[in-house]
Amino acid sequence: MKPIGTHNYWLYILTNAARTVLYVGVTSNLDRRIEEHRLDAEGAKKSFAGKYNCYHLLYVEHYVYIANAIAREKEIKKWSRAKKEALISAENPNWIFITYDN
């Protein structure tokens, strides 16, 4: 078991190739989760991200406590599209797809 405060949780925002859809999620393994979204998009399309081909990473925040990551996810999901765009643009102004090794 990891000591308290040494866990890694990620809030992330994905988009599709055309950057027309945004998906907000939380995970403890960002690489694995993005791969799951990609596989769903290319296959069964069972999830929102899969149906809309959202597996391109635009934005990420790191947390050591899952409760904080989930609270932030819930907060951002309530935001307007414009507010989400402003958040992404503050860190990634050109909306370049990023890779992230956690």
> Domain containing 34 — which CATH number?
3.40.1440.10
Rg (CA), the chain: 14
Query: So what's the pLDDT on residue 1?
Result: 56
Statement: residue 4 has pLDDT above 80? no
Can you read off the two tokens belonging to residue 97?
A: 């797809």
Range of the domain at 36: 9-91
CB 14 within 8 A of CB 55: yes
Residue 58 located in a structural domain: yes
The torsion angles phi and psi of 64, rounded to 5 degrees, stand at -100, -15
Euclidean distance between CA atoms 23 and 19, whole angstroms = 11
Can you read off the two tokens belonging to residue 58?
A: 């635009």
Name the average pLDDT for the chain: 92
Statement: residue 26 has pLDDT above 80? yes
CB 97 within 8 A of CB 56: yes
Residue 49 located in a structural domain: yes
Euclidean distance between CA atoms 62 and 71, whole angstroms = 13
**How many folded domains does the chain comprise?**
1
Residue 15 located in a structural domain: yes
Confidence class for position 99, pLDDT limits 50, 70, 90: confident
Euclidean distance between CA atoms 24 and 77, whole angstroms = 7
Residue 101 located in a structural domain: no
Residue 97 located in a structural domain: no
Residue 2 located in a structural domain: no
